[in-house]
A and B are shown apart, each in its own frame.
Chain A
Amino acid sequence: MIKGMNSLNKIIEKMKPTFSEGGKLSFLHSTFEAFESFLFVPGTVTRKGTHVKDAVDLKRVMIMVVIALVPCLLFGIWNTGYQHNLAFGLGWGFWQMVWYGIVKIVPLYLVSYIVGLGIEFASAQMRGHQVNEGYLVSGMLIPLIVPIDVPLWMLAIAVAFAVIIGKEVFGGTGMNIWNPALLCRAFLFFSYPSKMSGDTVWTGGLTRFLNEGTAYASGNGLVDGFSGATPLVHAGEGIQSLNAANISFMDLFVGNVGGAVGETSVIAILIGAVILIWTGVASWKIMVSSVVGALAVGFLANALATDATPYLQLPAYYHLVLGGFAFGTVFMATDPVTSAQTETGKFIYGFFIGALTVTVRLFNPGYMEGMMLAILLMNTFAPLIDHYVVEASINRRMKRVKTA
């Protein structure tokens, strides 16, 4: 191992002059450095300031988020196959479902990382910057929040939009206003509404079957009574509709229901949440206040509900397990760059995300998934929230100083 490391290091040292200033390939130096620093924690030493530094760096922080997302990904792989199996009545076993999920999801990842990292490298190269590791997380997130049947070319355009307009124009990781992964999803939904809405994109293979009449496995076609509607759509018609579709709270919690690839299983999301909170990478304050906000509006709706408004009757806690709420709360709202920066601000920011999500769900039956819009909206307002929190603190300091 040590020997292997040394020889690898030697190769890199040998290649370095070619990519450094004056070398033949100097125009690729950002790319070279990105690979070098990916392989090795560089041997740079402190110059000014502290002589020792903590072992943690942004790569480590980002890889923690990626690890936290793995349970969602694994569950998503299985669930993709399971939903396909259910829709076509194939009678598949576990591994067949997993294989189908892999076949469907790997292309999404290839598109996400190739397009996203390609743009990151190119823009770092153009500006002579270093390649940031932020896209490791965005690239992992994007395939988990899109419908499984999204056409790959659309995904490619959406990723390009998210990375260029969402991040690079602001100066890269750490400078952006909106969460790039959510921007990608928002772009898809607003640019291709005819393809992206409706009930048919959420089950793998369904789009192709409806268009071309062919399915992945030769089956008997769709099973009778298959609708493809996600639980969120049923929920919009009230709890009776959910019950009629045979979807229980437990189903929603476990996640063997339709929806975006990685967002269905609350169990998998909770595992991720524990990792994020324990490592301190994401803020529990945002997660908790988002849940509180959702419940607050949910209970208010329950209190106001009549039989004429069945969608208000949906028990408040159902909102926590429906649609993208849990996934968004844990992985998207907590994005440290686009969320509120102050500790008090985080509570306010999270509360509004939860509250707005449920509000959209209850009062906008045309487009049920409020999570994406709530987070993007609160991303926009996060600096304003911080501004008032900081101003309040400064005023308090002034007063404190006067009495001292």
Chain B
Amino acid sequence: MSNNIDLKQGLNIPIEGAAAPKTRTTIKPDIVAVKPTDFRGLLPRLLVREGDKVLAGSPVLADKVSTDVLFTSPVSGTVTEIVRGEKRKLLEVRIKADEKQEFVDFGARKVNGLSADEIKALLLKSGLWPAFIQRPYGILANPQVKPKAIFVSAFSTAPLAADLDYALREEYENIQTGINAVSKLTNGSVHMSFNGDNYSGTPFHKLENIVSHVFTGKHPAGNVGVQISHISPVRKGDTVWTISLMMLAAIGKLFNTGHYDLSRKVAVTGPRAVNPEYVTAVAGMQMKSISDFYDNSSKDVRFISGDVLTGTNVGEEGFLGFYDNQITLIKEGTEPELLGWAKPFRTKQFSFSRTYFSWLTPGKKYAMDTNTHGEPRAFVLSDVYSKVLPMDIFPVYLIKACIAGDIDKMEKFGIYEVIEEDLALCEYVCPSKIGIQSILSDGIDLMLKEMA
């Protein structure tokens, strides 16, 4: 066990509805969607038309810039609908799944005998290349570069996140194969970070071919970006890749079985989830297919693919994202509250600050909803943000640089080191209700445009 890095700053948001470690059902795919919006930096080119037959692993989209990056169908079936938004932006390719699932056979391979180029070619062809996320900026990985290193977080601290030890415990062999494969794509190593509170309890600490690191602390200690900044910070000109444990398992499966298999254990969580538990489902599954987990008769449930800090509001008709293994169901908080801010006690509300009294009940969980609890204002308090950000950057300065669109300052204040998820807690605790992730997102887009 290597040195433990103890992160003091952070916050575990006490929200109700953690999934019990039980798997209720396997969701039989009905309509699934491939969503170009899951991938930052993708300019999609459509490869199918409505009515086309596809197998699990058949290409559906390609990237217009790196044309060999393919996005493939998670199921076998028929393309039923191409959904476009404003300015004909491609949003979804909907596929009706067949009764019986058939896979494209990419051929099971032994990783040891394969060269880096062969591995890369297989990942690109099968649609698993997008499993890599490239830093800086959190974009699709560029197949032309060799990253300095590859980083994996073996635990998640996000609110109600799936417990990876449970969700992936049957995937040990696949994960090992995945590590062996991706380690050939970097000059450096595959760095994996473990939770120091449960280091010996997790099966994954026995994985080989990795450099392990140990972190303890509250969220965002499990965020790979935070871990990178403590292991080997991203500087200007560096490129590193990150990949989730779940995606390593999918890559391992590809080499072990020859199939593009995006099935995963998905944690169905949140205050509005009835008996929150896990289900087995594929990426792109529709929210409606977990209808026994919720009651949306009054149309007040928000369906989030992902967690409450960084997930996407997809709606009841929406679909699970490519990278997500969690669904959060929470209530839309549309009711005004009389003199809410002036009440001495608001026992149903949680606050990280001590201006309310939730610090008196540290173990309590809250049925949080989507109310903003106030209106947007200018930055006023300066020290709340660093209390939840265990990184050596000044978040307020970075965000102000993003607002100003000042490239030099964004660089100086650490834009290379962060993506939205790393500053999500800053946004959560912000008393001025500033959309920090969205501002950072615009800043990153500006960097991508200017530095291209």
Contacts and interface: CB of A to CB of B under 8 A. Distances in A.
A341 interface: yes
Most buried by B among A48, A53, A60, A172: A53
B302 A51 contact: yes
B420 to A, nearest CB: 8
A51 B427 contact: no
Nearest to A396: B392
B429 A54 contact: yes
B203 interface: no
Contacts of B381: 61, 281, 336
A149 to B, nearest CB: 33
Contacts of A225: none
Interface stretch (B26-34, B209-217, B327-335): B327-335
Nearest to A283: B383
A57 B233 contact: no
B382 A43 contact: no
Nearest to A41: B340
Given A54-B351, A401-B233, A404-B232, A40 B339 contact: yes
A342 interface: yes
Contacts of B339: 39-41
B86 to A, nearest CB: 16
B433 interface: yes
Contact of B330 (A41, A52, A55, A57): A52
Contacts of B313: 51
B363 interface: no
Interface string B382-426: 111010000010101100000000000000111000001000100
B341 A53 contact: no
Given A281-B355, A393-B392, A41 B378 contact: no
A240 interface: no
B198 interface: no
B377 A173 contact: yes
A56 B352 contact: yes
B371 A44 contact: yes
A111 interface: no
Most buried by A among B378, B396, B436: B378
A280 interface: yes
A175 B420 CA distance: 25
Contacts of B428: 50, 52-54
A8 interface: yes
A191 interface: no
B362 to A, nearest CB: 16
Interface string A122-136: 000000001011100
B380 interface: yes
B373 A56 contact: yes
Nearest to B439: A49
A394 B354 contact: no
B353 A54 contact: yes
Where chain B touches its partner, the secondary structure class is loop
Interface string A25-60: 000000000000101111111101111111111111
Where chain A touches its partner, the secondary structure class is loop
B346 interface: yes
A176 to B, nearest CB: 10
Interface string B317-361: 000000000001010111111111110001001111111101000
B412 to A, nearest CB: 5
A223 interface: no
Contact of A61 (B328, B355, B371, B383): B355
B269 interface: no
A43 B341 contact: no
A400 interface: yes
Nearest to B414: A397
Contacts of B370: 45-46, 51-52
A133 B378 CA distance: 11
B390 to A, nearest CB: 14
B375 A55 contact: no
Nearest to A58: B377
B363 to A, nearest CB: 18
A305 interface: no
A394 B412 contact: yes
A64 interface: yes
A50 B372 CA distance: 10
A279 B354 contact: yes
A60 B351 CA distance: 11
B355 A41 contact: no
A243 interface: no
A390 interface: yes
A41 B373 contact: yes
B446 to A, nearest CB: 17
Interface in A252-310: 278-281, 283
Most buried by B among A56, A57, A58, A336: A56
A343 interface: yes
Interface string A174-197: 110000000000000000000000
B145 to A, nearest CB: 19
A51 B352 contact: no
Given A51-B308, A51-B313, A56 B353 contact: yes
Contact of B380 (A8, A40, A279, A337): A337
B437 A49 contact: yes
B311 interface: yes
B309 interface: yes
A8 B338 CA distance: 9
A9 interface: yes
A108 B281 CA distance: 67
B369 interface: yes
B10 interface: no
Contacts of A107: none
A55 B349 contact: yes
A190 to B, nearest CB: 28
B432 A53 contact: no
Nearest to A278: B354
A112 B335 CA distance: 34
A342 B379 CA distance: 14
A63 interface: yes
A52 B433 CA distance: 11
Interface in A161-176: 171-175
Given A45-B370, A173-B377, A50 B424 contact: yes
B338 to A, nearest CB: 4
A141 to B, nearest CB: 15
A174 B381 CA distance: 9
Contacts of A49: 420, 424, 427, 435-438
B199 to A, nearest CB: 24
7 contacts: A52-B159, A53-B427, A56-B373, A57-B341, A172-B378, A279-B355, A336-B380
What are the 8 A-B residue pairs with the smallest beta carbon separation, nearest first? A57-B374, A174-B378, A41-B340, A55-B349, A40-B336, A59-B341, A49-B437, A341-B382
Interface of A: 5, 8-9, 37, 39-46, 48-61, 63-64, 130, 132-134, 171-175, 278-281, 283, 336-337, 341-343, 390, 393-394, 397, 400-401, 404
Given A51-B311, A390-B397, 13 more contacts: A39-B338, A41-B341, A44-B371, A51-B328, A52-B309, A56-B352, A56-B374, A57-B341, A58-B431, A173-B377, A175-B378, A336-B380, A393-B392
